[in-house]
């Protein structure tokens, strides 16, 4: 009986950081969501967040932090690549970096 390894269904990823406009204050506990996939995570102490195994496509990323305006940005995930998006609370903007 021959055994074969399962096909890899791993996709790309989305990661980033939630900080103030000076990038000297990082926001722990911000809620980050990939809206179309209904996947959520919370930012760590250093403001970082990460989603793995994200299928290729275009997604809306939403960030909520108590007392701040909800931020939304669009990011494109390519097969087996990581999209990086940083959010600024107080500056109300998102910075998207190409992989």
Is 2.60.40.1120 the CATH classification of the domain at 12-97? yes
pLDDT exceeds 80 at position 2 = no
Higher pLDDT pick, 85 / 97 = 85
7-50 pLDDT tens trace: 334 579 999 999 998 888 999 999 999 999 999 999 999 999 99
55-86 b/e (C-beta count within 10 Å ≥ 16 → b): eeeebebbbebeebeebebebebeeeebbebb
62-85 pLDDT tens trace: 999 998 999 999 999 999 999 999
Domain ranges of the chain: 12-97
What pLDDT, on the 0 to 100 scale, is given for residue 3?
Answer: 35
Q: Please give the model's pTM, rounded to 2 decimal places.
A: 0.80
Question: What CA–CA distance (Å, rounded) separates 33 from 65?
Answer: 12
């Amino acid at each position: 009986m021959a055994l074969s390894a399962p096909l890899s269904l791993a996709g790309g990823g989305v990661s980033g950081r939630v900080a103030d406009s000076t990038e000297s204050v990082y926001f722990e506990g911000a809620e980050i969501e990939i809206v179309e996939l209904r996947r959520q995570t919370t930012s760590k102490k250093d403001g970082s967040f990460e989603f793995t195994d994200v299928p290729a496509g275009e997604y809306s990323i939403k960030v909520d932090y108590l007392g701040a305006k909800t931020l939304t940005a669009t990011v494109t995930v390519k097969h087996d690549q990581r999209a990086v998006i940083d959010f600024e609370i107080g500056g109300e903007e998102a910075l998207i970096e190409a992989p």
